[in-house]
Structure formats: C-alpha cells, structure tokens
C-alpha cells in the first residue's frame, strides 16, 4: 500500500514518544510505501486535490534523533491515487488547518480514503463533541458571556474554564468563588465577551489522572494512559508536565468508550482519543490523538499494530458498520 502522512516536519518528531512515528514505523515494517507532506503543500488543480508528496525510508537506530528518515525527491500526486491518506498534523485548529480539512473532503469525494475524515475533524470539535453524550459528562456550560460563567461558578463553586481551540492544556484555568483573579481570567479568555469558552464543574479525581482512552476503528484499546498532574498543577496534560501512567481500563472507562465508539465510526473517525476524568468524558480528540508509545512501552500492547490493521481494513472497504 502507498500511505500518505500529512504531518508536521519529520525532523521535528520526538521519536521516543511520537505517536505518528510509531504508526509510520509499523507501516514500514509491513512493507507499505510511505510518503510525507505538510498540510500547506496540498493544492487544488483542475478540480483535483494534489499533494507535493515526498517518499521516505527509515534509517539509523530504532528511535534515532533527527536522522531517523531519508527523504527522496517530492513529486505531485493526486490524493485519490494513494491507498490511504492519514491526517496527523498537530493542532491548533486554525484557518490553515480548516482549509486543509476542506481539501481533504474534496479529495474524499474524488475517491481518496482519508483518516480521519476532513468532515469529521471540522464537525467534531474536540471540546464541543462531548455535548453529543451529555449523559457521560459533568455539568458543562458553553457561552460567550462572562456573566453566564460567573453564574455557573456560583452554582458549582469550583470549575474549569477553557477555550474551544486549545491544545496540550493551554488556556485552561481552575476557578473557585474566592479567586481574586476571576475577572482578569475571564477577560483574558473571553476577550470581553467576544470569544466562546467552555466551563465544566471541577472533577476532583483529576489528581488520579486525566485518562486518555483510545478508540481505533470502533474498537477500544484495553489500556488507558492516565496523565497525572505534577507539582500542584491542575492540568494532567503531558505537554503541561503531567506524568503518563498506562493502566487497564476501568468498567466505567470501557462503558464510556463503547458508548461513544459507534458514533465515531458513523462519522468516519478511525482514531479518537477520549479524555476521561473520574467517571466523566471531558473531551473527544480527533485531530492527532497521542499516547501510543507510552501504552506500548508500559504494557506491551501494540497500539501501532492495531492502528495499521484498521487502516488496512478501512482502505480495503472493510469499515465497521
């Protein structure tokens, strides 16, 4: 199979923990031909979506530094000519990202097999997606009005506020009714009532970890990566200094994931990373979910193999119903 990865520059990968690297390595081990392109190198010509795609090979050590790959000369190729197109560009979901998803939707209409689909990445905002599963979530408010957030805080006493386009824990604040910085924080986040944010009741179980639960092709990976806050932090995100600990799913984790999974498949989402704190679903990550290598290294469960299995199946039209 010819697999096109739309991803950040390969030289920027932290190969000891990068999920996209693990995907690529497993695909290469199976003999698939790998190509790479930046999202900004997609184009539309004569009604067709093209990529300036560069084939590449693995070289050097198993998890070498920047010299782990060798690029070959890039050439223009229609996305529909690849057996699978795997979108792994990291957020933020800005205008450039939006334009790329629109091109991916056009490519899919021309026969390209795109995972995750451009339509799904546009429609399934990683914060707002939980509103499709209200029975699984803690009390949540979405508003552009600071007065609404203040009323929500007065009701619950301890809340989390966050922007709808953040990543890696950026822009997340914990607010309590006695916090002297409430006004300043809301002004910063909401830009004087011109920016929509989300507020959620604070979930004390965050001290035990913000669990990343992976769903691949509608099947739930049996281990979660609990990202445990360190040093008094509220946030467990690894990018914010959290410690990643792989652990078997609890019964509640599995219930949440199995409830969400059919909707993911219906929307063409091959890979999603659900964020679960305590008994509650807090986010559904569909842009470039991570956690493969930490789970693989700590449990021996080969998440990358499961992922490539499903790419092969869905590319062959064997997508789960």
Residues that are catalytic? 127, 162, 212, 227, 235, 275, 283, 285
- In the three-class reduction of DSSP (H, G, I as helix; E, B as strand; rest coil), residue 49 is classed as strand
**For residues 227 and 204, is the Cβ–Cβ distance under 8 A?**
no
Give the tokens for residue 305.
């193999």
Q: How many CB atoms lie within 10 A of CB 301?
A: 15
Q: Tell me if the bond preceding 48 is cis, omega within 30° of 0.
A: no
In degrees rounded to 5, what are phi and psi of residue 25?
-65, -45
User: Rounded CA gap, 84 and 103, in Å?
Assistant: 15
Q: How many CB atoms lie within 10 A of CB 157?
A: 12
Whole-number Cα distances in Å, 1 to 26, 28, 85: 13, 10, 11
- In the three-class reduction of DSSP (H, G, I as helix; E, B as strand; rest coil), residue 171 is classed as coil
For CA atoms 294, 295, 296, 302, the dihedral sign is negative
User: Rounded CA gap, 168 and 193, in Å?
Assistant: 24
User: Rounded CA gap, 21 and 82, in Å?
Assistant: 19
């Amino acid at each position: 199979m010819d697999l096109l990865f739309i991803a950040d520059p390969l030289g920027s990968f932290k190969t000891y923990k990068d999920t996209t690297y693990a995907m690529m390595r497993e695909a290469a081990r199976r003999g698939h031909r790998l190509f790479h392109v930046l999202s900004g190198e997609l184009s539309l010509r004569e009604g067709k979506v093209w990529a300036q795609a560069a084939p590449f090979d693995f070289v050097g050590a198993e998890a070498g530094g920047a010299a782990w790959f060798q690029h070959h000369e890039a050439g223009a190729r229609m996305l529909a000519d690849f057996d699978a197109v795997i979108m792994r560009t990291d957020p933020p979901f800005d205008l450039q990202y939006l334009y790329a998803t629109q091109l991916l939707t056009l490519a899919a209409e021309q026969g390209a097999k795109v995972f995750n689909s451009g339509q799904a990445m546009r429609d399934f905002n990683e914060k707002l997606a939980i509103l499709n599963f209200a029975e699984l979530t803690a009390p949540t408010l979405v508003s552009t009005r600071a007065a609404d957030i203040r009323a929500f805080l007065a009701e619950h006493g301890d809340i989390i506020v966050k922007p709808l386009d953040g990543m890696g824990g950026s822009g997340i604040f914990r607010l309590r009714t006695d916090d002297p910085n409430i006004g300043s924080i809301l002004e910063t986040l909401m830009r004087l009532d011109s920016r929509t944010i989300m507020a959620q009741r604070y979930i004390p179980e965050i001290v035990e970890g913000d669990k990343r639960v992976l769903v691949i092709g509608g099947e739930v990976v049996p281990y979660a990566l609990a990202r445990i806050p360190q040093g008094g932090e509220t946030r467990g995100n690894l990018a914010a200094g959290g410690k990643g600990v792989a652990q078997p799913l609890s019964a509640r984790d599995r219930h949440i994931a199995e409830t969400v999974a059919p909707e993911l498949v219906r929307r063409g989402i091959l890979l999603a990373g659900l964020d679960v704190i305590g008994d509650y679903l807090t986010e559904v990550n569909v842009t470039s979910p991570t956690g493969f290598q930490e789970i693989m290294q700590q449990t021996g469960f080969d998440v990358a193999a499961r992922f490539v299995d499903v790419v092969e199946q869905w590319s062959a039209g064997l997508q789960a119903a």
